[in-house]
Structure 1
Amino acid sequence: MTPGLTVREAADKTGLTGHTLRYYERVGLIWDVPRDAAGHRRYTAKQVEWLLLLTRLRATGLPIAGMLRYAELVRSGRGEEDRLDLLQNHRIEVAARLAELTADLALIDRKIETYQRRLAAAAPHEEESA
């Protein structure tokens, strides 16, 4: 058996689709994916770890262009200051969105509490319903 994960196995492990894995390779988000004797991709553990990082960056709203810039910096083996800047700027954006979502959630919680109080006040008492 050839070492490494197949496209299906890597997709299952990362939550990405096979189509997305191939797209990421085509655009340069992942590189040097080895192939077995039949020419099928075989993802290494390190590449799966990289894909999981990309998945988290994407889930936090980093655009593909930002992911490509980050991948380019990593692939070059240098640019740590640029990588740090990119991640720090993205963190600021994520924190702002998180604060906004936290405020939105607080509003929803207040509305839920209001409706629960109203419904509790309007409900017949147990003694009356017996």
Structure 2
Amino acid sequence: MQTGVAGEQAWLTIREASRRSGLSEPTLRYYEQIGLVGPVPRDPSSGHRRYDAETMDTLDTLGCLRSAGLRVEDLRRYLGLLARGTAAAAEQRELFDQHADRLEAEIERLRLRLEYLRLKARLWDARDHGDEAAEQRLVPRIRALIERFRPSARG
């Protein structure tokens, strides 16, 4: 971290802010452009962005939420609710519960895909070893799993 022009304030460059938050430099610029973070102060001599501790706290949180899969509109909603403090606690809980439900469904879809790949690997291993009995046991399991991939099977 570098010392900024405001005395003891520690400032980060956009590269340092990107590395710390896990958000790309273009994303940091975009978040500023759309108002997720306030205007980022600029170094008077170079015009380069300088991120202060408060902005970094916000970016760290947004980086975590984004990596958990929250969409930009959810990030905007989160920050709006955050500004209302505990008066918005129930709405914050709802936001995170809804997203947790979406993430849980996504994890289930990933588990199905993983199971499918494992079964296909076993099928080809059985074929490689000429094990027709194993192949015959695996084919119905693979077909049943394929049925679970269909949208109508997921409800």
TM-score computed with the length of structure 2 as normaliser: 0.66
Judging changes above 3 Å, is the alpha-carbon distance between structure 1 residues 46 and 108 closer, same or farther for their aligned structure 2 residues? farther
Partner of 2:70: 62
Partner of 2:112: 103
Q: Given that residues 35 and 41 in structure 1 are in contact (C-alpha distance below 8 angstroms), is that contact kept between their aligned partners in structure 2?
A: yes
- Tell me which of the two structures has the higher relative contact order, counting C-alpha pairs closer than 8 angstroms and 6 or more residues apart: 1
Instruction: Give 1:15 shift.
Output: 2.9
Aligned residue type for 1:14: S
Instruction: Give 1:70 shift.
Output: 0.6
String of CA shifts for 1:3-33, please: whole Å, max 9, x gaps.
1211111112223222211211222222364
Aligned residue type for 1:71: L
Aligned length, in residue pairs: 122
Partner of 2:13: 6
Q: Given that residues 33 and 43 in structure 1 are in contact (C-alpha distance below 8 angstroms), is that contact kept between their aligned partners in structure 2?
A: yes
Q: Which runs of 5+ in 2 are unaligned?
A: 5-9, 132-155
Judging changes above 3 Å, is the alpha-carbon distance between structure 1 residues 47 and 120 closer, same or farther for their aligned structure 2 residues? farther
- 1:26 aligned to which of 13, 25, 33: 33
Matched, 1:90 2:110: no
Partner of 1:50: 58
Q: Which runs of 5+ in 1 are unaligned?
A: 123-130
Distance 2:79 2:38 in 1: 9
String of CA shifts for 1:25-69, please: whole Å, max 9, x gaps.
222222364444445432234533432332333233322111111
TM-score computed with the length of structure 1 as normaliser: 0.76
